[in-house]
A and B are shown apart, each in its own frame.
Chain A
Amino acid sequence: MTNAPTPSIAAAKQEPGSALSFYGVWLLAAVALVVLPMVFSSGGSLTSFSLIGIAIIFALSYNILLGQTGLLSFGHAVQYGLGGFLAVHVMNAVASHNWPIPLPAIPLVGGIGGAAFAIVVGWVMTKRAGTVFAMISLGIGELVASSSLILRSVFGGESGITTDRTSLMPLFGWTFGPQIQVYYLIAFWVMVSAIAMYALTRTPLGRICNAVRDNPERVEFIGYDPHVVRYFAYMFAGFFAGVAGGLTAINFEIANSAYLGATQSGLVLFSAFIGGTAYFFGPILGAILVTYLQLGLTSVTSVWQLYFGIIFIGIVMFAPGGIAGILMKHRPLIRAGTLRTVIPSYLVAAIPTLAFALGIILTIETVARFSGGDPIKLLGIPFVATAPTTWASAAVLFVGGFLVARITWRRVAEAWDRAATVARDRGYLA
Chain B
Amino acid sequence: MTAAIQVNAVEKSFGNVQIIRDLNLSVAKGERHAIIGPNGAGKSTTFNLISGHIKPTSGEIRLNGEVTSGLRPFEINRRGLSRSFQVTNVFARMTVWENVRCAVLWATGHRYAFWKNVDTLPEVKQRTAEILDEIHLSHRRDVPAGLLTYAEQRELEIGITIAGGASVIMLDEPTAGMSHAETERAVALIRRLTEGRTLVIVEHDMSVVFGLADRISVLVYGHIIASGTPEEIRGNPKVKEAYLGEEVE
Residues in A lying within 8 Å of B, measured CB to CB = 6, 8-9, 11-13, 199-200, 202-208, 210-211, 213-215, 217-225, 228-229, 232, 236, 278, 430
Distance in angstroms from B223 CB to nearest chain A CB is 26
Which residue of chain A is the closest to B161 with respect to CB atoms?
Answer: A221
Inter-chain contact B112/A208, CB cutoff 8 Å: yes
Q: Which residue in B51, B115, B143, B161 is a CB contact (below 8 Å) of A9?
A: B143
Inter-chain contact B142/A8, CB cutoff 8 Å: yes
Inter-chain contact B103/A222, CB cutoff 8 Å: yes
Measured as residues with beta carbon below 8 angstroms from the partner, the interface class of chain B is 35 or more
Residues of the B chain whose Cβ atoms lie less than 8 Å from the Cβ of A12: 95, 142
Distance in angstroms from B132 CB to nearest chain A CB is 13
State in angstroms the CA–CA spacing of A358 and B82 once bound together.
Answer: 58
B:99-128 near A, CB below 8 Å: 101-103, 105-107, 110-119, 121
B160 within 8 Å of A (CB atoms): yes
Inter-chain contact A222/B72, CB cutoff 8 Å: no
Distance in angstroms from B151 CB to nearest chain A CB is 15
Distance in angstroms from B118 CB to nearest chain A CB is 5
State in angstroms the CA–CA spacing of A202 and B160 once bound together.
Answer: 20
Residues of the B chain whose Cβ atoms lie less than 8 Å from the Cβ of A206: 114, 118
Which residue of chain A is the closest to B110 with respect to CB atoms?
Answer: A204
Inter-chain contact B142/A205, CB cutoff 8 Å: no
B163 within 8 Å of A (CB atoms): yes
Inter-chain contact B77/A221, CB cutoff 8 Å: yes
Inter-chain contact A430/B143, CB cutoff 8 Å: yes
B73 within 8 Å of A (CB atoms): yes
Inter-chain contact A203/B102, CB cutoff 8 Å: no
Residues of the B chain whose Cβ atoms lie less than 8 Å from the Cβ of A220: 52, 72-74, 77
A206-B118, A214-B91, A225-B74 are known; give 10 further A-B pairs, CB within 8 A.
Answer: A199-B117, A204-B105, A204-B110, A204-B121, A207-B98, A207-B118, A218-B89, A221-B161, A232-B112, A278-B93
Which residue of chain B is the closest to A218 with respect to CB atoms?
Answer: B89
State in angstroms the CA–CA spacing of A205 and B117 once bound together.
Answer: 10
Residues of the B chain whose Cβ atoms lie less than 8 Å from the Cβ of A215: 89-92
State in angstroms the CA–CA spacing of A221 and B111 once bound together.
Answer: 14
Distance in angstroms from A188 CB to nearest chain B CB is 22
B 232-247 binary contact with A (CB < 8 Å = 1; else 0)? 0000000000000000
State in angstroms the CA–CA spacing of A219 and B112 once bound together.
Answer: 13
B164 within 8 Å of A (CB atoms): yes
Q: Which residue in B93, B106, B114, B163 is a CB contact (below 8 Å) of A232?
A: B114
Inter-chain contact A211/B113, CB cutoff 8 Å: no
Inter-chain contact B163/A222, CB cutoff 8 Å: yes
Inter-chain contact B112/A204, CB cutoff 8 Å: yes
State in angstroms the CA–CA spacing of A99 and B153 once bound together.
Answer: 60
B192 within 8 Å of A (CB atoms): no
Inter-chain contact A208/B142, CB cutoff 8 Å: no
Residues of the A chain whose Cβ atoms lie less than 8 Å from the Cβ of B163: 222
Interface core residue of B92, B101, B118 (most chain A CB under 10 Å): B118
Which residue of chain A is the closest to B111 with respect to CB atoms?
Answer: A204
Inter-chain contact A229/B118, CB cutoff 8 Å: no
Which residue of chain A is the closest to B100 with respect to CB atoms?
Answer: A222
Given that A205-B114, A208-B112, A218-B90 are contacting pairs, would A223 and B140 also be in contact in the complex, using a CB cutoff of 8 Å? no
Which residue of chain A is the closest to B114 with respect to CB atoms?
Answer: A205
Residues of the A chain whose Cβ atoms lie less than 8 Å from the Cβ of B114: 200, 203-206, 232, 236
State in angstroms the CA–CA spacing of A20 and B119 once bound together.
Answer: 16
Residues of the B chain whose Cβ atoms lie less than 8 Å from the Cβ of A9: 142-143
State in angstroms the CA–CA spacing of A428 and B241 once bound together.
Answer: 56
Given that A204-B118, A206-B118 are contacting pairs, would A8 and B113 also be in contact in the complex, using a CB cutoff of 8 Å? no
Inter-chain contact A221/B74, CB cutoff 8 Å: yes
Inter-chain contact A224/B74, CB cutoff 8 Å: yes
State in angstroms the CA–CA spacing of A222 and B163 once bound together.
Answer: 9
B147 within 8 Å of A (CB atoms): yes
12 A–B pairs (Cβ distance < 8 Å), ordered by A? A8-B139, A13-B142, A202-B119, A203-B115, A203-B116, A204-B105, A207-B101, A207-B102, A211-B94, A219-B102, A222-B74, A430-B143
Q: Which residue in B91, B106, B118, B142 is a CB contact (below 8 Å) of A203?
A: B118
Given that A8-B139, A203-B113 are contacting pairs, would A222 and B94 also be in contact in the complex, using a CB cutoff of 8 Å? no
State in angstroms the CA–CA spacing of A70 and B144 once bound together.
Answer: 17
State in angstroms the CA–CA spacing of A6 and B143 once bound together.
Answer: 12
Inter-chain contact B85/A218, CB cutoff 8 Å: yes
Distance in angstroms from A51 CB to nearest chain B CB is 29
